[in-house]
């Protein structure tokens, strides 16, 4: 789809990879609306790129329906949606002291990453279904964010891996579900990227964590994620897949 004149909703757009993608989308003539937590920098970030902002919490599953309706009303329609809202917990299935992984923590990570993504996708799809298709028959593109931990989770990432693996697994099925409507669904699985989520990782640890990459052996930059997300939006053949953006890295067990 063409960015010029298209409308995009960027969930998690106040920071990191989603912010960088929103910026690229705006720079190419797209209209941007950022959704992010009330406590985020969303208001300022949106103002800086001439975009709109509305507060949201993807874990408020019912509330997201109203927020997204307000966002679509503010833009007029929606052709692009990127969601990076997510997070992890570090806990083993059985801890060293023998206690089990907290079920509440496991469920929270599934809710935040997997249910949150599915809910946003389903609501956005409802709005995209009302778009007039372009000459290719396309009505919109939705991109979710997994992680390479979806495929080779490290020790202590069992909840995160289950959640991100679920996002990767649902991508093709959702693309099939929505194919007749001309709505494409893709997932990006990054390795370690320099974002708000990782800013507290010391340089030495970052080097250690990226040493198994083929090339480059470094953390990714938000704008490199943005380049992939924008390419997906523009290329009608990109559908139903999870793309690793990882410098050829495969996580070791620890």
Ligand X SMILES: NC(=O)c1ccc[n+]([C@@H]2O[C@H](COP(=O)([O-])OP(=O)(O)OC[C@H]3O[C@@H](n4cnc5c(N)ncnc54)[C@H](O)[C@@H]3O)[C@@H](O)[C@H]2O)c1
Q: Does 153 bind ligand X (CB under 6 A)?
A: no
Q: Exactly one of 1, 6, 9, 15 binds ligand X (CB under 6 A); which one?
A: 15
Smaller CB distance to ligand X: residue 174 or 192?
192
Q: Does 16 bind ligand X (CB under 6 A)?
A: yes
CB of 134 to ligand X, least distance (A): 29
Smaller CB distance to ligand X: residue 125 or 150?
150
Q: Does 21 bind ligand X (CB under 6 A)?
A: no
Q: Exactly one of 169, 177, 196, 236 binds ligand X (CB under 6 A); which one?
A: 196
Residue 222 Rama label (left phi>0; alpha psi -120 to 50; beta): alpha
Query: How far apart, in whole angstroms, are the C-alpha atoms of residue 172 and residue 174?
Result: 5
Rounded to the nearest 5°, which phi and psi values hold at 37?
-55, 150
Angle (CA) 196-229-172 rounded to 5° is 110
Q: For ligand X, which stretch binds (CB under 6 A), given 25-33, 55-63, 101-109, 231-239? A: 55-63
Query: How far apart, in whole angstroms, are the C-alpha atoms of residue 198 and residue 191?
Result: 11
Strand order in the sheet with 31-36: 52-55, 31-36, 7-11, 80-83, 140-145, 183-190, 242-245
Q: For ligand X, which stretch binds (CB under 6 A), given 54-62, 74-82, 118-126, 128-136? A: 54-62
Query: Where in 103-142 is the site for ligand X (CB under 6 A)?
Result: 112
Q: How far apart are the first and last CA of the chain?
A: 40
CB of 19 to ligand X, least distance (A): 7
Beta bridge partners of 88: none
Residue numbers annotated as active site: 160
Q: Does 34 bind ligand X (CB under 6 A)?
A: no
Smaller CB distance to ligand X: residue 139 or 157?
157
Smaller CB distance to ligand X: residue 3 or 149?
149
Q: Does 161 bind ligand X (CB under 6 A)?
A: no
CB of 88 to ligand X, least distance (A): 6
Angle (CA) 37-28-65 rounded to 5° is 30
**Do 220 and 213 meet the contact criterion of CB atoms below 8 Å apart?**
no
Beta-carbon count within 10 A of 204 CB: 8
DSSP string, 14-36: TSHHHHHHHHHHHHTT-EEEEEE
Q: Tokens at residue 169, please?
A: 């697994």
Smaller CB distance to ligand X: residue 1 or 148?
148
Q: How many amino acids of this chain bind ligand X (CB under 6 A)?
A: 27
Q: Exactly one of 36, 79, 114, 243 binds ligand X (CB under 6 A); which one?
A: 36
Binding residues for ligand X, rule: CB under 6 A, are 12, 14-18, 36-37, 40, 56-59, 84-87, 112, 145, 147, 190, 192-193, 195-198
């Amino acid at each position: 789809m063409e960015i010029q004149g298209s409308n995009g909703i960027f969930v998690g757009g106040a920071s990191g990879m989603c912010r960088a993608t929103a910026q690229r989308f705006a720079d190419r003539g797209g209209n941007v609306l950022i959704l992010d937590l009330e406590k985020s920098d969303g208001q300022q970030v949106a103002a800086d790129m001439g975009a709109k902002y509305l507060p949201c919490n993807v874990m408020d599953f019912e509330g997201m329906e109203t927020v997204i309706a307000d966002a679509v009303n503010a833009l007029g329609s929606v052709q692009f949606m990127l969601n990076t809202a997510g997070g992890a917990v570090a806990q083993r299935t059985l801890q060293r002291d023998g206690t089990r992984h907290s079920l509440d923590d496991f469920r929270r990570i599934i809710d935040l990453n997997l249910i949150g993504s599915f809910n946003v996708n389903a609501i956005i799809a409802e709005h995209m279904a009302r778009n007039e298709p372009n000459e290719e028959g396309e009505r919109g593109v939705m991109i979710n964010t997994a992680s390479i931990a979806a495929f080779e989770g490290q020790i202590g990432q069992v909840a995160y891996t289950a959640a991100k693996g679920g996002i990767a697994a649902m991508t093709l099925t959702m693309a099939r579900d929505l194919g007749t409507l001309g709505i494409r669904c893709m997932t990006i699985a990054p390795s370690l990227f320099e974002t708000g989520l990782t800013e507290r990782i010391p340089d030495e640890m970052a080097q250690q964590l990226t040493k198994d990459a083929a090339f480059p052996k470094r953390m990714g930059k938000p704008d490199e994620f943005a380049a992939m997300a924008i390419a997906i939006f523009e290329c009608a053949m990109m559908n139903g897949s999870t793309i690793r953006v990882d410098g050829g890295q495969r996580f070791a067990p620890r």
